[in-house]
Amino acid sequence: MNMKLISGNVCAPQGFKAGGIHCGIRRNKTKKDLGLIVSENRANTACTYTLNRIKASPLKITKNHVSDGYAQAIIVNSGNANSCNIDGDEKAIAMARLAAKTLNISPQDVIVASTGVIGEILPIKPIEDSLPALNDMLNDTDGMDAAYAIMTTDTRPKEIAVEFVIDNKVCRMGAIAKGSGMIHPNMGTMFGFITTDTAINTSMLAKALKETVDDTFNMISIDGDTSTNDMVCLLANGKAGNKIIDNTGENYDIFVNALRYISEYLSKEIARDGEGASKLIICNAINSSSIADAKKIAKSIITSSLFKAAMFGADANWGRIFCAAGYSGADFDPDKVDISLSSKSGSVDVCKNGLGLKFDEEQAKNILLEDEITVVINLNEGKYNATAWGCDLTYDYVKINGDYRT
């Protein structure tokens, strides 16, 4: 495979720097709440956004700013979503303007992102006062401060970087992400910020991102709630010096392979870090008659609260899996369905041709006590497969969200 993991994140590609700081939006002074990611030059840019009809002001402003296919910086805050506020657009525009002034670039080239509580007025003065210090802290070797700055209920930062070769030029791609609750992307609250020094034009960049997001980030579900603030942004500044990718072919495939690897890794990390979660749940819907039906089934199962609760309790209640497939809206023959459960402790078949099998309950429980569980639902109708990622539903999820705002 023409790709290898390397250390780092958004600063791994040439020409990018990043940083994060506590500016005062969050009450806890030990938590960073303002981040910047900056390219040395204007970068070809593609973004995907939440499909929630209610879109936060930063998304609306960002969509306008990247309509020309370019961006040079991302300013992001945590602790306040700047969503559903009377002055939300004004504050998002101000964030872009302040970042642009600090960085000496055009406000039109600034992506704005916010995450946190919906419906609370975003204070702009802490951001304005802290930007000079944040600018001084930017570096091109370590983007971890930015990774921490975007976290809300996340228990750990999410980062990755890879290296690959195109036209004998070493290219790099790095990313940070956040997401723990309100995750059911249809681009929950979820951010993915991806940087690369690969030379690729905007149309190919947008094509690659959309295809990848559809199969990765959009196949996560923590709780079935799609946020007003979700976005994934991909910036390509061309510093690697490869011949620009302007059509499909081998070089495009190499690029997409790297993007898919990064996106799948981050998707799994987001699912693994779901609010209160104790287990990563992977659902493979295989041998479907269409990719659309496979996706519907996999995501329906991973979203089912009853199924997620059963996984928390290590209860091999396979009927909840079958039920979720049945109401997914997918077209399949229930009489052909096989279901199995597996983990590093083994595998057990629980359903064959739509009917329950006798199985060892103790063995099944031991399988489901592990921290990573795989469900395979075989439709036995075609050649199309899809994977979705989620987590179990625990008591702690209710505790975290019972007083999230207060």
Q: Could you give the residue numbers annotated as active site?
A: 189
The residues, ordered by sequence, that sit 6+ positions from 251 with a Cβ below 8 Å of its Cβ are: 166, 167, 242, 243, 245
* 288 close to 384: Cβ distance less than 8 angstroms: yes
- Distance between CA atoms of residues 396 and 401, nearest Å: 9
Burial (0-12, 13-18, 19+ Cβ within 10 Å), 137: middle
- Distance between CA atoms of residues 230 and 346, nearest Å: 36
* 189 close to 230: Cβ distance less than 8 angstroms: yes
- Distance between CA atoms of residues 241 and 244, nearest Å: 8
* 235 close to 195: Cβ distance less than 8 angstroms: yes
b/e map 245-257, b = 16+ CB within 10 Å: beeeeebbebbbb
